[in-house]
Structures are given as C-alpha cells and as structure tokens.
Chains A and B, each alone.
Chain A
Amino acid sequence: MAKVLVIDDSQDMLTLLQMILEKRGHHRVTTCHNGAEGLQVATTDLPDLAIVDVMMPGISGYEVVRQLRANEATKNMGLLILTARGQPVDKEAAMAAGADGHIAKPVNMDSLLAEVEALLERKQQEALQQAPPTPMARPSVPEPPASSASPQMTMAFFSLKGGIGRSTLAVNFATLLQQIAPTILWDLSPNSGHCALYLGLRPEKHWGEYLENPGTDVAGLLLRHQSGLALLASPPVPGQSGWFRDEDIENVLRQLHAAGRFVVVDMPPVLNSAATLILQRARRIVLLTGDDGPAIQTTRFTLQAIQEWQARLLVVRNAARPGSHPLPEALQRLLQTPLQGDIPYEPMQPEAAHKGVPVVALQPQAGFAVGMKRLAKLALTR
C-alpha cells in the first residue's frame, strides 16, 4: 500500500483516479485541486508517488514537478504527468521538468495502474540500492540500545497470532534483503518452523545444535539457499532442544551479524524473555496483523504490550486468505493505529513453497512481491 497524491483540477478525474487507485491498486490516495495545494500536501504528507495534471489554473503541472524535484524532502518521489497534452513534445517537456513518466488522456486505467505499479517498484529498487551501509533511522526514532550484539541491522517479524503468514513474509523479506547485502534468516520457531520448507532446504543443521552445545560456531549451522540467503533453521522435531537464555540470544545475534549485514528473525508467537530481548535489539519490528476478529484483537493487545518500541514498529496487514478484505482505513480504525504496509493475497504461495523459491524471486511483478518490496524500502529508509 503506497501513498499516492493526485493533483488535477477536474473533480471527475480526481474521483475516478481515487476510486481506481484505492479499489484496484490498494493505495492510500490524497487528492488536490491545484498545484499550490498539491505542493503543500506533498511536502507535508510525503507521498510515494504523485500523479500530476499539466493544465491547471495557477501553477502548471510542469512547475509542480520542478518544485517537487527541487525539494530535498520530495526529490526522490515518483512523479507521473497525466495530461490531455499527449504529443511527443509534451512528453519531452514532462521529462525535462523531472517527471518519471507521461500518460496521455484519455487514459486506459489498466495502463495507468500498470504504470503506477512499475514506477513504485522502480523507486523501491532505487531506494534499496541507495540504502546506506548502515541504514539510518529518523533522528526522532529512538534506536535500540547500543549493544555489541546489534552492530548492524536486525529485523523482527512478529505476531502473537498464528496462521497469519509470518514465516512466508519473513522468508520473502529476507530474500529481498539478500539482493542488497548478505542476509541471514533466523527461524526462531520452537515448533518445527517452516522457513527451511519455504526455501526448499532440509533442516539438517539447526539452532537446536547450538543449544545442546553453546560453544558451537553458529556460522557452521547455516543452510544456504540458491539466492545466497543463509538460514539458521528451526529444529525439525519440536520439544527436544530446550530454549534460549538471554546470553544465548546475544551470542547468536553477534555471530549472525558477523556473517551478514541483515538478520531477519522469524519470531515465535510468544512474548517470553528471549523474544523480548530480540525485539529490544531489533531496529525494525514488523508486526503482522490479519483483518479477522481474533487477529484484530491480538494485534490491539500486542500493540499495548510492546508500545515502548512503537517508534520502530511497522504494522502490516497480510492477506493470508483469498477473498475480499476490509479497506485499510477500516482496519486502521479498528486497530487504532496506522498501517504501514498492506500485503495482498498471493495464490502462488503453494507453488513457490513447492519449488523452494520465494514469490519475490519467482514472480517479482506479482502484487505480493511489489508489496514486499515496498515494505523492505520502508524498513530500510524510514
């Protein structure tokens, strides 16, 4: 779910675009009737993408695009010019002003949506490539306490509600990060976790061996996926390996970070001491929610329980089942917190699991993959 700003002096066009982008694109849309208002909203709301009409009374669309590109806060956002002036010279003018694309009216909505999705994806790729070696958070976001165990970036995928697709998302997220830098996925499930299965790996080595012998070199327990992603797998047989003490967590995290820049932890659905310690150490906590009653209840109470880390929290809805889902606004009202991500249902998941290739690698254009890339961008750049 991206934030899209539409600037057009035609109310008909605004209504149409808002409807299409929200209902079919699942984006959050803000509309403005003129360039001046659009500039103001863009600099305060910081949308991911703006669709700008050229011919508007007052400031023209070209000038809006020029000013957005000149502004440090908005210079990297996606900018599409949508105009009835569809001649080659107009396209050149749009590009010269700084737009990423030019769409002529009357517009085919399928083409527009495809253009929007492609541009959002391109911007995410650019953001991922431009991510600094040690990703920085906004100064206002309190960082986890300095620790020798977290010199780089730990990201935790967390939900106290099971069956919500946490492992699926963690696997796909880690696969995306692997495209940027060496990444390790830690399947912390005590109950025969599924990350190895989703990656087509046999959990012949797993963290249970470390617990049996705390002197074990954790790097030697990593399984390697064809993408280069390393996995610290969960023991296949539950109940035989004991559990982590706080010092174990610190030690394993330290060793994992020595082996890779990003550590993605597929958290167990509990809030015990070890889980709490990882959440404390994590630079980003992706709290997954569903949109059914039990999931909403669990998420609301989880938010209360981990409110001290709210600044590092990304609340994400995962549509783990097909069918209709409530609009993000409705879910946000029920959760009483903003959603930072909205991952659509992906029917290819069983096939991806069968092949041992995450959807983000198997079908990078799928809506699910696009949603995951947005989430990765947000986690790295927010």
Chain B
Amino acid sequence: MEKNRTTAEFFAQGYRVSGTFYVVTRPLADEVHDPTTDYVPLHDAYVSPIMNPSRISAYYRDALFDKNNLDFVLTVDQRDGLRRDQRFGLGRYSFKIFLTVPFFEVQGELRLVTPKLDSRVYLSSEAGTFITLLNVTARSTFNPDVQYEGGVAMVSRLRVSFFGERVE
C-alpha cells in the first residue's frame, strides 16, 4: 500500500525537511542523482529548523526541493537511497568515511570497485553530484546529542567541506 512512495529526510541550509517522494516513475535516488533536473518534487513536506528538529514549523502538501542547495538526503531503508544501477551491486571495497557539510558531521561507508581510496581524486574526478554513503550517522554540529541514522545518505559533493577516511 505504501510501496509507491518513499519518505526521506532532506537537509539543506539549516533546515530538516521530511517529505514523501512518489516513486511511480522512478526511485528517489534516480531523481536525486539525475544531473538533468534541478528539483526533487515532494509531497507532504514537513519543515523543521535544525536547532529544534522535532518542531514542525511548516507543512506543505506539495513542494520542490532545489538540489543545488541540498546538503544531503537520508533514507532509512537502503533500497530507497540506491539508484537502479546501484541496486545490482556496489563496489566490493568498503571505506569508512567522515565528512562535514553545513551543520553536520556525517559518518558512513563508501563502497568502491577499487581497493584504494584517493580522496582528492574521488572528490574531484568522480562523476555525479551526490556521494552515496551506507549505514550513515549524521551528527548535528551545534547540538551533538542530536543525530540521524539511515541506511543511505546521498551527500552533495559540492557541499562537502571536509572529507576523510577513518582508519580503525
């Protein structure tokens, strides 16, 4: 009954927007990664300020999210955050990543087909605007007790200010 829609968390410029995306034509990840479109259409969008993320300050039945201003999108279910091609398999090599975007520190798992991660090369020459991270924890910079967890985060490469591999 609910399979024709995906609910995700969109973070941008100090706001948290919980919205529903109708996946009738294509998955959310395909929409976010599509370089030919600028907006993600949302339904039932609930807006909260990052500093008080459980307070719903606005509601819109229909809304658009400007992808150029997105920091990252978080989905609870991993399948919702993967493109169709990614669903057939991600790289076999896993890297623990720590990165920062405005208002957030994000930790997650990056999967690549190569055994070595060169951060500079990866950030500058990989195709696509959004980085896919798995098993993500995003911590609010100004309120570290507030954290968000998800199966996948699609992080805007343009908004990343720090990118590092965590070695354990």
A residues contacting B by CB (< 8 A) are 9, 12-13, 15-16, 54-55, 57, 60, 62, 84-90, 92-93, 104-106
Contact A89–B77 (Cβ < 8 Å): no
> Is the Cβ of B7 less than 8 Å from the Cβ of A105?
yes
| Chain A, residue nearest B80 (CB) | A106
Task: Report the separation of the CA atoms of residues A86 and B53 in the bound assembly, to the nearest whole angstrom.
Answer: 12
One of A57, A62, A104, A106 near B54 (C-beta < 8 A):
A62
Of all chain B residues, the one with the shortest Cβ separation from A84 is B7
Chain B residues whose CB sits within 8 angstroms of the CB of A93 once the complex forms: 54
Kindly list chain A residues whose C-beta atoms are within 8 Å of the C-beta of B15.
Answer: none
Determine whether B31 belongs to the interface, using a CB cutoff of 8 Å to chain A.
no
- Complex Cα distance, B7 from A289, in Å, reads 46
User: In this assembly, does B9 line the interface, its C-beta being within 8 Å of a C-beta of chain A?
Assistant: yes
Q: Which A residues touch B59, using CB under 8 A?
A: 55, 57
Sorted nearest first, the 8 A-B pairs with minimum C-beta distance are A93-B54, A84-B7, A55-B46, A87-B148, A12-B1, A89-B146, A89-B53, A60-B56
Assuming the A-B contacts A55-B56, A60-B56, A86-B76, are A105 and B148 also in contact, with contact meaning beta carbons closer than 8 angstroms in the complex? no
In the bound complex, do residue A12 and residue B56 qualify as a contact, i.e. CB atoms below 8 Å apart? no
With an 8 A cutoff between CB atoms, is B165 at the interface?
Answer: no
The one of B1, B46, B56, B76 that contacts A104, using a Cβ cutoff of 8 Å: B76
Determine the chain B residues whose CB is within 8 A of the CB of A84 once the complex forms.
7, 18, 20
Is B54 a contact of A92 with CB atoms below 8 Å?
yes
Interface flags for B83-99 (1: CB within 8 Å of A; 0: not) read 00000000000000000
Q: A62-B54, A106-B77 are in contact. Are A55 and B44 (CB under 8 A)?
A: yes
Residues of chain B lying within 8 A (CB to CB) of residue A54: 56
Q: Complex formed: what's the CA distance from A264 to B76 in Å?
A: 52
Taking the closest CB of chain A, its distance from the CB of B23, in whole angstroms, is: 13
Are the C-beta atoms of B148 and A16 separated by less than 8 Å?
no
State the Cβ distance, B61 to closest chain A Cβ, in Å: 8
Query: Is B147 in the interface zone, CB < 8 Å from A?
Result: yes
Whether the pair B2, A87 counts as a contact (CB closer than 8 A) is: no
Closest CB-CB distance, A25 to chain B, in whole Å? 18
Q: In the complex the two chains form, is A87's CB within 8 Å of B149's CB?
A: yes
Q: A55-B44, A84-B20 in contact; A89/B54 too (CB < 8 A)?
A: yes
A90 / chain B contacts, CB cutoff of 8 Å: 54
Chain A, Cβ-Cβ closest to B56: A60
- Known: A60-B56, A104-B76. Contact between A12 and B2, CB under 8 A? yes
- Chain A's nearest CB lies how many Å from the CB of B71? 16
B53: chain A residues within 8 A (beta carbon): 87, 89
Residue in A15, A57, A89 whose CB lies within 8 Å of B148: A89
Residues of A within 8 A of B46 (CB): 55, 85
Give the chain A neighbours of B149 by CB distance below 8 A.
87-88
Q: Is there an interface contact between A87 and B1, defined as CB atoms closer than 8 Å?
A: no
Chain A, Cβ-Cβ closest to B61: A57
Chain A to chain B contacts (Cβ below 8 Å), 14 pairs: A12-B2, A13-B1, A16-B1, A16-B2, A55-B56, A57-B59, A84-B18, A87-B9, A87-B148, A87-B149, A88-B146, A89-B147, A89-B148, A106-B77
What residues of chain A lie closer than 8 Å to B77, measured between beta carbons? 106
Mask of B41-56 contacts with A, CB within 8 angstroms, 1/0: 0001010000001101
| A87–B7 CA distance with the chains assembled, in angstroms | 12
Question: Is there contact, CB below 8 Å, between A105 and B54?
Answer: no
Closest residue of A by beta carbon distance from B59: A57
Q: Mark B15-59, 1 if CB is under 8 A from A, else 0.
A: 000101000000000000000000000001010000001101001
Identify the closest chain B residue to A85 (Cβ). B18
Closest CB in chain A relative to B45 CB, distance in Å: 9
Question: In the complex, what distance in Å separates the CA atom of A15 from the CA atom of B56?
Answer: 25
With both beta carbons as reference points, the residue of chain B lying nearest to A61 in the complex is identified as B56
Interface string of B116-148 (1 = CB under 8 A from A): 000000000000000000000000000000111
Contacts of A106 in B (CB 8 A): 2, 77
Contact B2 A13 (CB under 8 A): yes
Q: CA A93 – CA B53 in complex, angstroms? A: 9
The distance from the CB of B10 to the nearest CB of chain A, in whole angstroms, is: 12
Kindly report which residue of chain B lies nearest to residue A93, judged by CB atoms. B54
Query: For residue A97, which residue of chain B has the nearest CB?
Result: B54
* Complexed CA–CA distance, A57 and B45 (Å): 10
CA distance A92 to B54 in the complex (A): 9
Residue of A nearest to B140 (CB): A89
Q: Which residues of A contact B44 (CB under 8 A)?
A: 9, 55
Chain A contacts for B54, CB-based, 8 A: 62, 85, 89-90, 92-93
- By a CB distance below 8 angstroms, the chain A residues around B61 are 57
The CB with the most chain B CB atoms within 10 A, among A9, A89, A90, is that of A89
Please, how many angstroms separate the alpha-carbon atoms of A85 and B46 in the complex?
Answer: 10
What residues on B are CB-neighbors of A92 within 8 Å? 54
